[in-house]
Structure 1
């Protein structure tokens, strides 16, 4: 198969991204509106498309200050297209081939460490601190329980 990797935000299929993120451990709490906002407000997005059909089969987004720091998030590849090196192509396009090639990048993941290590991600060492997320508050459209 042949694939196209593209950073055009207006080409991102929010239906695809929403469907994929509903299935992954790190995003199950997000609403459809949350996902659409995250796509719209991301510093940069990457989409991967099947060149034959035009169907989106991969995605990632990044947050950044635009000067020296970026956070890689939501790297996904449709299950039917895994094993074709698309995760590597997404990360390459986002980190090495984009405007943040000289940035300090971070990400959080409980899997795929081998993929990210190929791009220089390592344990942050003793100079990094992370404040874990608190329990997810009710979504703004939900009333808090008493």
Structure 2
């Protein structure tokens, strides 16, 4: 994992690389337009990118929405297939929810296939107090 670095500088995000993944490989991202994604990126409370130290290529990404005080939503988390199996996904989630300004916040997310990853950070199935009105994505 030492060949990769994590950075939360928004201007460093390779928008083309992230869009390429979200628009083709991410089941949750394919219904968005590029303009939708760029608006979400511009409005993000925080982003974290994962970059190969040698090439500078972006291999991972996570985005968060937040009120900046106590609640945050984790979105668009991914690590490219070519960089998986090295603990980057766990490190990316940790960087976003435990090592940044949102440590201690109530975090929420949606996932269809990564429950084990998020459960390792304390995420659980909501109880009867939680309600949601599903949107178009």
Q: TM-score, normalised by structure 1?
A: 0.89
Paired position in structure 1 for 2:9: 8
Count of residues in correspondence between the two structures: 135
Q: Provide structure 1 residue ranges, at least 5 long, that are not aligned to the other structure.
A: 137-146
Deviation at 1:38, TM superposition (A): 1.2
By how many angstroms is 1:65 displaced? 0.4
SS across alignment from 2:5: strand
Q: Which has the larger radius of gyration?
A: 1
Unaligned runs of 5+ in 2: none
Q: Deviations over 1:89-137 (max 9, x none)?
A: 1100000001110110000001111110111100111110111225x6x
Aligned residue number for residue 19 of structure 2 = 18
Report the aligned-residue RMSD.
1.1
Question: Structure 1 residue 74: deviation in Å?
Answer: 0.2
Give 3-state SS (helix, strand or coil) of 2:135's partner. Answer: coil
1:111 aligns with 2:131: no
Partner of residue 70 from structure 2, selected from 68, 71, 90: 68
